[in-house]
Amino acid sequence: MNMNSHGLVVGGTGMLADVSVWLGQHADMVSVIGRQENRHHKLNARMKNVNSLIFDYKDGNELRNQMMKAIEQYGPITLVVSWIHSYASDALTIIDEEVSKAAPHWRLFHIQGSSNSRELYFPIGANCLYRSIILGYLIEGGQARWLTHKEICEGVIESIKQDSEKAVVGIVEPWDKRP
């Protein structure tokens, strides 16, 4: 990211905390959405340029309001890393709408679990470059296991660095071998 840049990590205090910290090394400000205040405190101890947005993104009105405030305070968001649970079906649409209003061009790195690996596109605005990151699994010693948070973060960071249109962290096939 360039100077005077503003990134957003949705779900960036838990599994993606290392992605938030890494992004903070490459952006002027990183807004991080997460529900748990104690996780925000831990993240604040690891990075200084974080805008902690403590709320549940399934509340669409609150999401829209927090997005507008963050953009007003820190400028347009040019990169979004998003891990959004299926119970918040409108969240990504709201993020797209609010980010697109302020940024002429931006990138969305949409992280999804392997069960979504067949649905690789999300309809977004014309000024967004959509990037899909699918989280798979690994096979070690003949046993399948889910990825660790560290492996997930390393894969997501590499996908951002490579600006990959589609990336898979781990493997998603064979389907019947999933843990």
DSSP 10-66: ETTTTTTHHHHHHHHTTSSEEEEEES-HHHHHHHHHH-SSEEEEES-TT-HHHHHHH
The predicted structure's pLDDT at residue 175: 85
| pLDDT for res 22 | 97
- Collapsing DSSP to helix, strand or coil, 75 comes out as coil
Evaluate whether 137 touches 163 at the Cβ level (below 8 Å).
no
The answer to whether residue 1 scores a pLDDT higher than 80 is: no
Return the pLDDT at 3: 46
pLDDT value at 80 more than 90:
yes
Q: Closest Cα partner for 36 from 20, 59, 52, 58?
A: 52
- Using pLDDT thresholds of 50, 70 and 90, give the confidence band for residue 75: very high
Domain assignment of residue 23, yes or no: yes
How many domains, the chain? 1
**What domain range is 22 assigned to?**
6-177
| pLDDT tens digits, 129-153 | 999 999 999 999 989 999 999 999 9
The pLDDT, as a whole number, for residue 177 is 87
CA–CA dist 4, 75 (Å, integer): 8
Mean pLDDT over residues 68-79, rounded?
Answer: 97
**How high is the pLDDT of residue 95?**
95
Tens of pLDDT along 13-71? 999 999 999 999 999 999 999 999 999 999 999 999 999 999 999 999 999 999 999 99
Under the banding of pLDDT at 50, 70 and 90, the label for residue 94 is very high
Among the listed residues 6, 22, 136, the one whose alpha carbon sits nearest the alpha carbon of residue 76: 6
Arithmetic mean of pLDDT, 85-89: 81
Q: Does 67 reside within a domain?
A: yes
Is residue 1 a part of any domain in this protein?
no
In this prediction, residue 120 carries a pLDDT of 55
Task: Give the model confidence (pLDDT) of 112-131 as tens digits.
Answer: 988 766 665 566 778 899 99
Which CATH number does the domain housing residue 116 bear?
Answer: 3.40.50.720
Whether 114 is in a domain gets the answer: yes
